[in-house]
Amino acid sequence: MKKIGILLLLCFSLVLAKSSNSMSKKSYETLIESQKLMETGKDKEAKKNLLELLKTELNGYEKSFVFQTLANIEINANNYKGAIKYYKTIIELDVLEPKSIDNMKLSLAKIYLSENNYKTSIKILTSLLESEFINKTDVYENLAYATYYDKDFKKSILYINSAISSNKEPKESSYQILYSSYVELKEYKNAINTLKFMVNNWHKNETYWLQLIALYQETNELKKALSTFELAYKKGGVAPNKNTLYFVNILIQNELYFKAAQTLEEAMNKGYVENSKKNFDLLISCYDYAKQKDKVKEILAKSDYARNSKYQLLLANIHFNEQNYKKTIETLEKVSIKQGTKEDGQRNTLLALSYYELNEKNETVKYLQKAINNPHEKTRALNIKKSLQI
């Protein structure tokens, strides 16, 4: 898991420590010098001085400050296990004020959380709910993360809702963990309501919009998915140049093929979407489903992707349905198709039907027999022959 922010306690209240005669002059000066070294990035030198100081006779109070400083050095070095050791020692010494001890426990709980030791973190955090010194909202938030990563999503929801109710202003990270917990539990209605709140408060975050749209798709609320996408475009929450294909997909799911085709064609012309074979296929399919035959013919006439047999057969079928039989024949005679294939059978059948409409019986019989000889088209061709009484 990603490292979460660890609360670093202010290491020193050394003026107070010195005035209360709880710390020797040597200890005080060494700690001050170590602090200065750390501020200039000389952590190794500071650590060396502190370890030397520990070899001398120190009281529990002095040791606590030394261990606290050493813990911060370990955290700076991303050595969280080392920091844990020092924090536990301070808590065991138990010579600091209760408030300082509780703050130390909170830091320790956060380190355990960052180290994926969720159960230990939860145990410490739960005990801090009884503390009169610790901010409960902070404890609830960390408990929400710890229980979430421990896969106790119901408790995570409970704790994060407690944190949310304590905050005067909505905190984005709190709603992120709430939404994620609902999704893990497949409580999609609650997840949707959470995301609706999130897009209203952080409407420039594209991820939230796309997650909301995806949840509407997951729950088969396709019209809401579409209206949410359009609202996201309007509010600038989703970039049109990055999400066109997703939008087209939702338009298709709503059977808005013409709008899907127009959107895709515009995006391809503007360069938002690659003018690839895959996108070309999608564009033709959308216009075809939308029964925009003239548009299909227009695109097929000018695209290099349309030179294959699949699209030439489609074009020929359009001509045939428009009763332009000569154009159908002209298109089919130009296309190169391997003999004996399924497409070859379809071409011969369409040629036979076109010649039949032109009252050219010999050509009709010729191509119909070719279709009959094709194993992929035989049954259909025989039925046509019977129907035409040839």
Are 279 and 335 part of one and the same domain? no
Regarding whether 119 and 8 lie in a shared domain, the answer is yes
The reported pLDDT for the residue numbered 48 is 96
Is there a domain that residue 202 lies in?
Answer: no
**How high is the pLDDT of residue 22?**
78
Predicted confidence at residue 17, as pLDDT, reads 43
Q: Is residue 114 part of a domain?
A: yes
Residue 257 lies in a domain: yes
Domain span holding position 55: 1-128
274 and 387, same structural domain? no
Same domain as 384, residue 324:
yes
124 with 1, same domain? Answer: yes
Domain boundary among 128, 155, 177: 128
3-state per-residue secondary structure call for 82-123? HHHHHHHHHHHHCCCCHHHHHHHHHHHHHHHHHCCCHHHHHH
Within a domain: residue 150?
no
Q: Do the domain assignments include residue 83?
A: yes
pLDDT band at 240 (very low <50, low <70, confident <90, very high): confident
- Is 0.85 topped by the overall pTM? no
In 3D space, the residue among 143, 137, 138, 141 whose CA is nearest the CA of residue 124 turns out to be 143
Query: Does residue 361 lie within any of the structural domains?
Result: yes
Same domain assignment for residues 34 and 121: yes
What's the pLDDT at 368?
93
3 and 121 belong to one structural domain: yes
State whether 6 and 108 are in the same domain.
yes
Same structural domain, 67 and 12: yes
Same domain, 118 and 1: yes
Task: Give pLDDT tens digits for 82-110.
Answer: 999 999 999 999 998 999 999 999 999 99
**CATH code at position 94:** 1.25.40.10
Residue 370 lies in a domain: yes
Nearest CA-CA partner of 357 in 305, 314, 320, 311: 320
Cβ(65)–Cβ(54) under 8 Å?
Answer: no
| Residue where a domain stops, chosen among 128, 146, 169 | 128
Residue finishing a domain among 128, 162, 178 = 128
Q: Indicate the number of domains in the chain.
A: 3
199 located within any domain:
no
Evaluate whether 139 touches 160 at the Cβ level (below 8 Å): no
Please say if the pLDDT value at position 4 is more than 70: no
